[in-house]
Amino acid sequence: MKNFDYKKSLGQNFLFDKNIINKIVSSINPNEEDLIIEIGPGAGALTKELKNKNCDKLCFEIDTRLKSILSSLEDDKLKVIYEDFLKVDLSKYIDKKYKNIYFIGNLPYYITTAIINKITKEAKPKEIVIMIQKEVGLRFMAKPNTKEYNSLSIFLQYNYDIKKVCDVSRNCFDPIPNVDSVVLKLIKRPYSIIPNKEEEFYKLIHDSFVHKRKNLRNNLKNYDLNKIENTLKTFNKDLTVRAEQITIEEFIKISNEI
């Protein structure tokens, strides 16, 4: 974009590839009574196309310098809020009248995880379509016994069915970032089994991965290790395993026993 001083600190790499823009926008199909929330509209690459969707749209952009571009896109059904998405109280903006919430965005990579955590905990989106750094995408979708599998993989796969929409080359952006990207679609689902206490399940996975190279006996010192060991035995495992060897179902079972 001519005469625009891109801020690297805000992850400002604007997408210009029409084919990718279409793939992202056409991957959601909301109804009139739904709400789309776009995070970081930038110069409106996705926002312009989202205008064709017949539902309300709310965009959160931190950089007020983009007002001059984005204000021309605003109308009865599309509003831009100039605030740090991480600091907004989403409950103030999500009216109960909406049937389903869809999140969409080419995320500023420096806060990808914080954004996903916020969305998952503060809203109950039907779907999330996000562009993120490719390596981070691999972690989101990682399976047990791989080096990418971590507490975030479990948190996300417990909450969502995750599908890849497309890979995106760094050359599709201005300015060109030094990483490639991937677009993922996260579809909210009830998991096959449910923890008795969700917050305790999240804490257990967080604590289990605190020191990635350590086994469960060391990472979970402050838990009732006898109970954990008894549950592990039912999957032919013991306390010498590392968290990356435990499946989501197994973590849920452990969390239900402690």
Q: Which residues bind ligand SAM (CB under 6 A)?
A: 10-15, 39-42, 45-46, 60-63, 84-86, 106, 108, 111
What six digits make up the tokens of 233? Answer: 């035995």
- CB 220 to ligand SAM: min, Å: 34
- For ligand SAM, the closer of residues 40 and 195 by Cβ is 40
Q: Are 220 and 246 in contact (CB under 8 A)?
A: no
* Token representation of residue 163: 């599908």
3-state secondary structure 205-243: HHHHCCCCCCEHHHHCCCCCHHHHHHHHHCCCCCCCCEH
161 - beta bridge partners?
Answer: 187
Both tokens of 119, joined, read 């969305």
Nearer to ligand SAM (CB atom), residue 55 or residue 62: 62
- Least spacing, CB of residue 86 vs ligand SAM, in Å: 5
Instruction: Please state, as a whole number, how many other Cβ atoms lie within 10 Å of the Cβ of residue 100.
Output: 17
Comparison of 64 and 240: residue with beta carbon closer to ligand SAM: 64
Burial class (CB in 10 A: 0-12, 13-18, 19+), 208: buried
CB of 117 to ligand SAM, least distance (A): 13
Q: In the complex with ligand SAM, which residue's Cβ is closer, 81 or 241? A: 81
Position with the least CB separation from ligand SAM: 40
Rounded least distance, CB 256 to ligand SAM, Å? 36
Cβ density class 149-188: b for 16+ within 10 Å, e for less: bbbbbbbbbbbbebeebeebeeebbbeebeeebbbbbbeb
Least Å distance between CB 27 and ligand SAM? 14
Query: 13 vs 151, which CB is nearer to ligand SAM?
Result: 13
Taking the alpha carbons of 110, 113, 114, 118 in that order, is the dihedral positive or negative?
A: positive
Shortest CB 46 distance to ligand SAM, Å: 5
Amino acid at 74: E
Q: Of 128 and 254, which CB lies nearer to ligand SAM in the complex structure?
A: 128
Instruction: Classify 161 as helix, strand or coil.
Output: strand
The CB density around residue 143, as the number of other CB atoms within 10 Å, is 12
Residue number with CB closer to ligand SAM (3 or 192): 3
- Least distance CB 34 / ligand SAM (angstroms): 20
